Amino acid sequence: MSVYLDHAATTPLSPAAREAMLPYLDAWFGNASEPHAYGREAKAGLEHARGLLAELLGCEPEQVVFTSGGTEADNLALFGQAGEAPGRMVVSAVEHAAVREAALVLERRGFEIAWAPVTPEGVVDVAAYEQLVRPGDRLAAVMWANNVTGVVQPVAELAAIAAEHGVPLHTDAVQAAAGLPVDVGAAAVATAAFSAHKVNGPKGVGCLVVREPSVRPQQVGGGQERGLRSGTENVAGVVGFAGALQERRSRVDGRAQVRDLLERLVDGAAVPVAASAPRLDGHSLLLVDGVRAEVLVLALDQAGYAVSAGSACTAGESEPSHVLLAQGLTPEQSRSVIRVSLGLDTTVAEIEGFAAALRTAVDRLRAGALLPGPAGH
């Protein structure tokens, strides 16, 4: 097996989350809306998970709306608060596609989207944002931490500026939750999106924390989740989500030292992007000038290391990343970055091995050597 250094794309299921889920996949499979014993067991598990997540995320249990993941939570926040066109929103220039594409749909429906610029380090330009937010805006949206660069935004400050104008702020906290003790109450955001699979929970489950009463449901049906998200609840999934986040919060994150070591070891072959901005501890985006990221990712895969070219969520795209263009990289540079994202258990030895493999691959590729094809194909 190769060494997995792509934790920003997804994480392995933690043993604690798996253990917590098993009873709800087996004996306690009931529908949480039913009053009989099976239903009551499922409901108890669901509400326990909700309470635990609320405690960990700094909100009230009734503010946690379970969804099928981060994408649905972001969509619910934007479409749920947009109301009727015409209207206006301020959206950062570096959002994940789950927010950006929703904003682009709203733009096509007649909304004005004001794109908030970022500095060359990828941090939202607070002075420019202050000028952009206006009373009457339906929403401001700024992600807590970026999935490409790992840059952490001053979300509490941006939420306070929006609040001065009476504008609610939505934050996509999907990546942030993997590296920071995110507290939505302390940051005073209106809504915040989370996804279990980024914090060693299962895929296909997440939540939107809703602290703003104006959010409207985007799907109708049985009225689950206080009417905000109809559909039979994924009880095992949310139990795994809560168990995973609880375990993650209880562990000391020593990844910043390992990441700094990595960036020292690759010096000369690669340059870290946004190195002086506040960044998630386990996250490094490396610019490898003159080398195409897809080719380097394949070379590293053959050498036994799994990393990503830019953002995994837009994998397959050949377009340069809007995130990197927004912070001033050229299209060519933005095609020459690889993302290395560490797990809590990534070791120094693994990073030393990776750095050596990266140097070898970069030397070969810069020298114009062709990649050998897979044996027998």
What residues line the site for ligand PLP (CB under 6 A)?
Answer: 69-71, 74, 96, 98, 143, 147, 172, 174-175, 195, 197, 206, 313
* Phi-psi category of residue 104: left, alpha or beta, with phi > 0 → left and psi -120 to 50 → alpha: alpha
Selected catalytic residue, list 313, 344, 351, 355: 313
Residue with tokens 């053959």: 302
C-alpha span between 206 and 220 (Å, rounded): 18
Supply the minimum distance, in Å, between the C-beta of residue 303 and ligand PLP: 25
Supply the minimum distance, in Å, between the C-beta of residue 165 and ligand PLP: 25
Residue nearest ligand PLP (C-beta atom) = 70
Number of neighbouring beta carbons within 10 Å of residue 301: 12
C-alpha span between 7 and 345 (Å, rounded): 11
Instruction: Answer whether 201's CB lies under 8 Å from 169's CB.
Output: no
Amino acid at 160: A
Amino acid at 249: R
Supply the minimum distance, in Å, between the C-beta of residue 104 and ligand PLP: 15
* Beta-strand pair 283-287/337-341: antiparallel
| Residue 59 among the catalytic residues | no
Supply the minimum distance, in Å, between the C-beta of residue 99 and ligand PLP: 7
C-alpha span between 283 and 11 (Å, rounded): 13
C-alpha span between 102 and 87 (Å, rounded): 14
Supply the minimum distance, in Å, between the C-beta of residue 19 and ligand PLP: 22
Judged by beta carbon, residue 138 or residue 198, the one nearer ligand PLP is: 198
C-alpha span between 286 and 271 (Å, rounded): 5
Judged by beta carbon, residue 76 or residue 358, the one nearer ligand PLP is: 76
C-alpha span between 60 and 246 (Å, rounded): 16
C-alpha span between 113 and 206 (Å, rounded): 26
| Residues involved in catalysis | 313
